[in-house]
Structure formats: C-alpha cells, structure tokens
Amino acid sequence: MVRCFVGLFIPTEIKEKIIKIQNQIQKLPITLKLVEAENLHICLSFLGEVKEEKIKNICEKLDSICKRYNKFEVEISGIKLIPSENYVRVLALDVKSNMLESIRKDVEKEIGGDSKPLHLTLCRIKKIEDKKETIEKIKKIESEVGKFEVEKISLIKSTLQKSGPIYTSLYDSFLL
C-alpha cells in the first residue's frame, strides 16, 4: 500500500515568499505545526492508502486529464482560516485558478479521493491565545505571494515519519 495524493509542488521563488509569511505567523501567540518548506504543495485530491497495482491506472487517468489542459498560471494570495474564523484548525493561502479548479474536479470525478477547495496549507493550529486579537493580526499579514506557471500535476507519495511526512513524486503528468 502506498499513501498518496494528487497535487503539485511549489516553485522555489514562491516558496521563499510563503516561508516569510510562515515566519510572521510563528511570531504570533499560537501553538502550531508549520508545513516544512520542502513539503509546501497544493493538494487536488488525497487518495490515502492505495494498492500498488492501482498506481499505474491512476497515472493513466492523470495523463488523460492533463492532456485536456494547456499550461496555465496560478495565483496565491490571501490567508484562509479553515474551517472557519470561529474554529480555526488550519491557516492556508488561497489558490486562485479556474483551470486548476477544473482539473481538481476532473481528478475528483475520475480518480476519486478526498478533494477540498483549492488552498495551500501553511500550518496546523493546536491553540490560539487571545483568539480575536490574534485573528485580526493574521488578517493583516501581507499575503500576496504571486503567480507561477503550472506545467505538471503529480501523483505524490506521502511517507509518514516522526519528524513529519516526506513527499516524493511517484509520477508527473505534463500539461500541453
């Protein structure tokens, strides 16, 4: 069994801007777990534990989906409080792209898995001190990260370790 998801990794120049936002969040009175720089990604669908013999079929379906799309730009900006401002468990950046949203829906329909609206997770929240004031500070953080071109969608293996997950690309499917 292979624990995996369909998604895409973030280019280095965009990661550097995201890390600056994470550093600002880390200074706030929040107990949290940051997503490691090397693990920053956009998940289109979490597949969970998949039997080895099904991987080839998933890759073929991913190719079929990606052949329908040309390369396109994604914009990352704006902090999201997930699931809501009243009960924050995750801080994420908003991912804006109609094309990527279409691919996410195709992946959900044709490959399956657990698919959520587009976002890029910054950290998981364990506890927030002075919630109202801290959330106001979060909203004021400069979160205009920028745009980057999406050239491929990947099937990504997630290996859980005590130090955190290790993500490795099992297969890359390129857009036109």
Q: Which are the catalytic amino acids?
A: 41, 119
Cα separation, 28 vs 139, whole angstroms:
12
Residue 87 makes CB contacts below 8 A (sequence gap 6+) with: none
Residue 125: name the closest of 8, 22, 14, 44 by CA: 22
Q: What is the DSSP letter of 10?
A: P
DSSP line for 132-146? HHHHHHHHHS--EEE
Residue type, 171: Y
d(CA 80, CA 88): 9
